[in-house]
C-alpha cells in the first residue's frame, strides 16, 4: 500500500512544483507577449515634429506574429507587402529584419537599375511603450535610411543624377530620431 501511495504522490508533487515554478517565472510585463498582434500606423515624428503621413503610410498594417515573423501591408494593393523576422531583446528593443537600400560606389557611372543595392539587415527600435492598445517605437537612423529603406513602407528610389547626388548623399549623413506610433486593431 505504501508503494502505491509513493507512486501517486511523487509524480503529483513533481507536477505541482513544476507548475508553481512556471507560474512564478511568468512576467506580466513581457513585451514579447504584448507586442504580438495587428497594429495600424497612426503617426510618425521626426526629431519631435509630427510628419504628414504619405498615402501608403495612412493605412499601414503591421502584423507581428507569435512565431517570430512580421508582415507590413497596406489597405490597397499599391502598397508593397514586406515580411521579416522579429525579436524583443532585453525587454527593451524590438529588432526587425528590413530591406535597406544604399547607393553603390560611383552611382553616376552605373545604369539607373544598378545605382542602388539592397541588403537585408537587422534594425533595432527602442520600445518606448507597448500596451494592449498602443505601440510606440523609436529609431535613430539616417534620413535616407528611413526614406529609401523598407522600414514599414518602401519609397521609390530616384535615378541618381548630377543634380540630386549631393542632396541624397547629405540625407545619408543626416541623423534623425523617428517615433512610430501604432494602434492595436480589434
CA dihedral of 48, 53, 57, 62, whole degrees rounded to 10:
30
In the predicted structure, residue 26 carries a pLDDT above the cut 80 = no
Q: pLDDT above 90 covers what percent of the chain?
A: 68
- Considering the chain, what percentage of its residues have pLDDT values greater than 70? 83
Lowest mean pLDDT across 46-50, 52-56, 76-80: 76-80
The pLDDT of residue 21: 47
**pLDDT for residue 93 is more than 70:** yes
Taking 70 as the threshold, does the pLDDT of residue 154 lie above it? Answer: yes
The pLDDT, as a whole number, for residue 68 is 96
pLDDT band at 81 (very low <50, low <70, confident <90, very high): confident
Residue 24 pLDDT: 46
SS3 of 177, please? strand
**Residue in this structure with the C-alpha cell 514579447, named with its chain if needed:** 32
Q: What is the pLDDT of residue 20?
A: 47
Q: How confident is the model at residue 8 (pLDDT cuts 50, 70, 90)?
A: low
pLDDT band at 23 (very low <50, low <70, confident <90, very high): very low
Which helix (H) or strand (E) segment holds residue 63: the answer is: strand 61-64
Residue 10 predicted with pLDDT over 80:
no
Return the bridge partners of 102, or none. Answer: 117
| Interatomic CA distance for residues 73 and 56, integer angstroms | 9
Domain parsing of the chain, residue ranges: 29-184
> For residues 181 and 129, what is the distance between their CA atoms, to the nearest angstrom?
9
**For position 9, what pLDDT does the model report?**
58
Question: pLDDT-derived band of residue 65, with 50, 70 and 90 as boundaries?
Answer: very high
User: Other CB atoms closer than 10 Å to residue 11's CB: what's the count?
Assistant: 10
Q: Which CATH class is domain 29-184?
A: mainly beta
Q: What's the confidence (pLDDT) of residue 153?
A: 84
CB burial of residue 23 (10 Å; 0-12, 13-18, 19+): exposed
Distances (CA, A) of 174 to 45, 51, 142, 167: 15, 17, 5, 11
Amino acid at each position: 500500500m505504501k508503494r502505491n501511495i509513493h507512486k501517486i504522490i511523487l509524480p503529483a508533487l513533481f507536477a505541482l512544483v513544476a507548475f508553481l515554478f512556471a507560474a512564478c517565472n511568468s512576467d506580466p510585463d513581457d513585451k514579447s507577449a504584448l507586442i504580438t498582434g495587428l497594429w495600424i500606423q497612426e503617426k510618425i515624428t521626426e526629431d519631435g515634429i509630427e510628419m504628414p503621413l504619405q498615402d501608403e503610410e495612412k493605412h499601414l498594417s503591421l502584423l507581428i506574429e507569435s512565431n517570430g515573423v512580421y508582415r507590413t501591408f497596406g489597405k490597397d494593393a499599391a502598397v508593397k507587402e514586406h515580411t521579416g523576422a522579429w525579436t524583443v531583446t532585453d525587454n527593451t528593443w524590438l529588432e526587425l529584419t528590413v530591406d535597406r537600400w544604399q547607393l553603390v560606389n560611383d552611382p553616376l557611372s552605373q545604369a539607373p537599375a544598378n545605382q542602388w543595392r539592397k541588403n537585408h539587415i537587422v534594425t533595432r527600435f527602442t520600445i518606448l511603450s507597448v500596451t494592449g492598445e498602443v505601440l510606440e517605437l523609436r529609431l535613430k537612423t539616417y534620413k535616407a535610411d528611413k526614406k529609401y529603406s523598407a522600414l514599414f513602407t518602401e519609397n521609390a528610389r530616384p535615378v541618381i543624377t548630377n543634380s540630386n547626388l549631393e542632396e541624397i548623399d547629405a540625407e545619408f549623413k543626416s541623423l534623425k530620431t523617428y517615433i512610430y506610433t501604432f494602434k492595436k486593431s480589434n
